[in-house]
Structure 1
């Protein structure tokens, strides 16, 4: 995907003026979803989405909320990597590998997230989490036994957040893949 020409390219630095600059300025500092900013320009995902300011105003705060939500960071990043691997979405994978490392996921575990089936090296909760993602992506639902196992660890609020997280990142994968959003160069080196 990264070698393909974007269908809708990210705004160039010169194009980031007016309303786009204001929106990007609001969402470029702090927060887990934007952790790679700092010395880097705004993410290509953001500078593409800002071409539709109304959707940007709705989607970016929701993604930011999920990136800083109540789920443990390690669980969140494992789920997001699983979505990126299963959809697949190279952009999400590249963005969330560094985030997963920050959340304590090892390089070996990152590689294992992409395996067809969660193996026995995961603990029971993490196998359940990865299986839940697979089930939701495959059938827009989760098996009752998987739900029960997640319910043993998560509150009702966290269960809702988990389902929204998986759905939101599946939607983002569809957007990023279809628009052929190029992976940010600094993500390729990390």
Structure 2
């Protein structure tokens, strides 16, 4: 794979017809339009929908931030999405994920000795969804026993959404 991003990046402010989408991205992301969104801006409907979906996953679920960030980091590792891992490692640390757990999530299989039972369960679900697509009934039964239906949907949606993110990044060679 070459080192070149495979679509042009849209410079924020350079296309007046994108002003509304850019304003939404800036509002949700703290003023910055990252390279991922500069690629997405090649399609205003995709950029807009992406931002709404990912903002819901990042900011409007009941999943504790540390679990969410462990999911995101793990998906990034499994899909070799270096940009995503680098982007979310600071969020994971801010959410209280230890340096040891961040290092452990990088290993395949994950070295889960230091993780709590719920962290191990969420990482196991993440691995199944990302690597095999199908989740064994026994794993889903444990997930459903641990979380209410909203929690199950939110955790599964987080894994699925960040698989989308990481696969988009890898396909378009967005690595920094």
> Is TM more than 0.5 here?
yes
2:3 maps to which residue? Answer: 4
From 119, 125, 129, give the equivalent of 1:126.
119
Contact 1:66/1:165 (CA < 8 Å) preserved in 2? yes
From 42, 58, 61, give the equivalent of 2:49.
58
Task: State the shift of 1:133 in Å.
Answer: 0.6
Task: State the shift of 1:70 in Å.
Answer: 1.6
Contact 1:10/1:181 (CA < 8 Å) preserved in 2? no
Contact 1:24/1:42 (CA < 8 Å) preserved in 2? yes
Deviates most, 113-122 or 68-77: 113-122
Deviates most, 139-148 or 161-170: 139-148
- Alignment partners' CA distance in 1, 2:93 and 2:56: 20
Superposed counterparts of 1:1-190, under 5 Å: 4-13=3-12, 15=14, 17-30=15-28, 34=29, 37-38=30-31, 41-68=32-59, 69-118=61-110, 119-183=112-176
Structure 1-normalised TM-score? 0.84
1:186 maps to which residue? Answer: none
Task: State the shift of 1:14 in Å.
Answer: 5.9
1:92-129 deviations in Å (ceiling 9; x for gaps): 10111011111111222111111112321111111111
Task: State the shift of 1:78 in Å.
Answer: 0.4
Task: State the shift of 1:54 in Å.
Answer: 1.1
Give the 3 Å change call, closer, same or farther, for CA 156–19 of structure 1 in structure 2. same
- Alignment partners' CA distance in 2, 1:130 and 1:49: 28
Structure 2-normalised TM-score? 0.90
Structure 2 unaligned segments of length 5 or more: list them.
none
Contact 1:79/1:130 (CA < 8 Å) preserved in 2? yes
- Alignment partners' CA distance in 2, 1:7 and 1:94: 20
Higher relative contact order (CA 8 A, sep 6+): 1
**Runs of 4+ with deviation above 3 angstroms:** none
Give the 3 Å change call, closer, same or farther, for CA 182–88 of structure 1 in structure 2. closer
- Alignment partners' CA distance in 2, 1:181 and 1:102: 24
- Alignment partners' CA distance in 2, 1:140 and 1:152: 21
